[in-house]
Structure 1
Amino acid sequence: MSLQYLLDEHIPPLYRTQLVRREPELIVRIIGDPDAPAKGTLDPDILIWCEVHNFILVTNNRKSMPKHLADHLAQDRHIPGILVMDLGRNIGEIIEELLIIAGASNDHEYQDRIEYLPLTL
């Protein structure tokens, strides 16, 4: 399993707990962890961190993240990907989607893209 996830600070920590409980090899960080961006880090800086450290960002930021990604790409930068989730959806469905993505995707499948979860309806 080579994909790694960085969970936005607004994603409840229960998501990480459930992800690593189901797939202990999966690397999941949350903004605010000692080896992740600090809480309150601006979105453009989070995208740079994800690019440097090769993490897919998992966020619920539907409003401004597309603009941040466009600006990031306009600077000739890249990102492993952004997965935007709806916190109103069932946690089990979202966890299952994230596990399927991590287990079945190649390293560059989501590069420079935003995908909205769930991918399947």
Structure 2
Amino acid sequence: MKIRFLLDENLPPKLKSALLRLNPKIDIMRVGEENMPTLGTLDPEILIYLEMSKRLLITDNRKSMPSHLNDHWSSGRHTWGLFWLRPNLPLSKAAEELNLIWEVSEAEEWIDKIGWIPF
């Protein structure tokens, strides 16, 4: 199964556009879009949504997400992966990295794993 991404609400919508310009086949949505978690949804609820929808989260939230992620895993739950974007990363570079990850890996490879963009 190919990776399906969800952009956290704090990331610029232009990241989605940049990635789709590189590869329009990629399934990428953003918090706040139709049929996605609404803006302001709490991290624990986002993690449950991601698990149920089989989506990998892309975020730069390093303040609250790590503890919520640990709580999620401690309760026996799972994720379909999470990527943290490094500070000051140009959108074009983030889009290139995400496109590469999408092209060379499958969703199941990222279950309960976290990574950094760029690696």
Normalization by structure 1: what TM-score? 0.93
Q: Residue deviations 1:25-72, cap 9 Å, x none?
A: 101110001111000000010010000001000001112222111100
Quote the Cα distance in structure 2 between the aligned partners of 1:111 and 1:64.
Answer: 20
Quote the Cα distance in structure 2 between the aligned partners of 1:33 and 1:87.
Answer: 24
Of structures 1 and 2, the one scoring higher in RCO (CA 8 A, sep 6+) is: 2
Contact 1:29/1:36 (<8 A) preserved: yes
Return the structure number with greater helix share: 2
Contact 1:20/1:26 (<8 A) preserved: yes
Contact 1:55/1:80 (<8 A) preserved: yes
Contact 2:78/2:111 (<8 A) preserved: yes
Is the aligned partner of 1:88 residue 2:88? yes
Is the aligned partner of 1:59 residue 2:59? yes
**Runs of at least 5 residues in structure 1 that lack an aligned partner in the other structure:** none
Deviation at 1:109, TM superposition (A): 1.7
Q: Residue deviations 1:80-102, cap 9 Å, x none?
A: 00100025112221111100111
> What residue in structure 1 maps to residue 73 of structure 2?
73
4+ residue segments displaced more than 4 Å: none
> What residue in structure 2 maps to residue 36 of structure 1?
36
Quote the Cα distance in structure 1 between the aligned partners of 2:35 and 2:20.
Answer: 17
RMSD: 1.2
Count how many residue pairs are aligned between Structure 1 and Structure 2. 119
Amino acid at match of 1:74: S
**Runs of at least 5 residues in structure 2 that lack an aligned partner in the other structure:** none
Normalization by structure 2: what TM-score? 0.94
